[in-house]
Every structure is written in structure tokens, then in C-alpha cells.
Amino acid sequence: MTEPSKKEDRRIRKTKKLLINSLAVLLEEKPLKNITVRELAELSDINRGTFYLHYRDVYDMVDKLETEAFERFNEIVSNYEPSYEQETFLTFLTELFEFLSDNSLLSKSLIGKNGDAAFVDKLKITLREKYVSRIYSDLNIKDNVKLRYLCQFIEMGSVGICDAWLNGGMKESPRKMAEITENMILSAIVSITEPK
């Protein structure tokens, strides 16, 4: 009895993976608003009826993919007590890069030039609220102007690093990328916390 269900689950997962891969390919070429269900179905080698078994339209598909990705991202952020203690922070960043690596096609599409800026903003806000802002309060930085710019520098820089890594073929391991990112963030923090 359970075997057909397992086969069906495997078939559904395979179909969704094909659709995600096709979406990623199309987002390399053009913005989301110009992608049609017909193109997605043809590229995935499925019929449109199969697409509509899972999603209402392309926007519904992207919305569901973003929701799943955001839930996993949120889970990772929530698993770590905010800390710039080296091993904890490095482990946290490594898990984030592993998440990007495991979902590289989708991550590259959503963060890239034809991706969803609102989704990227949502990730940045979550990271700021759940992780970064709590650490900033511990740093006791008196200069609010420097703190505001530091926050923007870290957020935009981190997205830029992820984008460059994903588009550069992910030659470095998630751990190596975590080390590079950690070093850059800690250097930026030190630069405004050390007395002049």
C-alpha cells in the first residue's frame, strides 16, 4: 500500500525539480514577468496540465518556492543564538552557504539580476531582525551613523558575495565561503569599534 505513494512522491519531486531547473534557465535569459507556463512546460518536457496540478501560474510557483526557501532560511537563522564568537558565527555562516549550495539553481535565480528583489529584501530584514541587530546592541557602538552604514555594508556585501559565488560556479566550498564572509564582516565591525 505504501509503495505507490512513495512512487507518486518521487514522481512529484522529479517534476518539481524539472520545473525549478527550467525556471532557473529562463530567469537567466529574461525577467519573471516574461516567462510563460507554456515555456516552462516545454523546457521541462511535461504538459501544461501537469504544471497546473502543482501551481496556478508562474507567479504561484515562484511564490511557493520562495516560501519554502524562506522557511528553511528562517529555520537556520533561528537555530543560532546571535553571536560573533568565532566558532558559532562560522558554523552559522557555513550552514547558510550549504543551504545556498543545496539549492544553487533556485538561489542563483532568486538572487540574480532577474530575481525577486522583494524576496532578497525579506531575507535581509529577517537576518537583520533575528541576528544582526541583537549583536549590534552587544557591541555598544555609540556612533549611530557608522552603525547604520555598517549594517548596510554587511547586508549588501553578503548578498553580493553569495551572488558572486553562485554565478562563479561555486568553486569554493561552503565552509571556505563562510570563512571569507566571516573575515570580511568581522573586519568591518572592528574598523568602527576600535578607538581612533
User: Would you list the DSSP string of 94-107?
Assistant: HHHHHHHHHTHHHH
Together in a domain, 51 and 143: no
Residues 18, 90 share a domain = no
Of the candidates 67, 157, 58, 154, the one whose C-alpha atom is nearest the C-alpha of residue 114 is 58
49 in the same domain as 74: no
Residue 17 lies in domain: 1-55
> How confident is the model over 92-138, as pLDDT tens digits?
899 999 999 998 888 888 887 788 888 888 888 887 777 666 666 66
Can you say whether the dihedral through the CA atoms of 48, 50, 53, 56 is positive or negative? negative
Report pLDDT digits (tens) over 45-67: 999 999 999 999 999 999 999 89
**Confidence label for 1 from pLDDT (cuts 50, 70 and 90):** very low
127 contact partners, CB below 8 Å, separation of at least 6: 77, 155, 158
Whole-angstrom CA distances from 30 to 9, 16, 55, 194 are: 31, 21, 21, 46
Helices (H), 32-173: 37-44, 48-54, 58-78, 86-102, 104-111, 117-127, 133-139, 144-167
Q: Which of 86-95, 143-152, 177-186 is modeled with the greatest confidence?
A: 177-186
Structural domains of the chain, count: 2
Q: pLDDT higher for 115 or 86?
A: 115
Q: Is the predicted pLDDT of residue 184 greater than 80, yes or no? A: yes
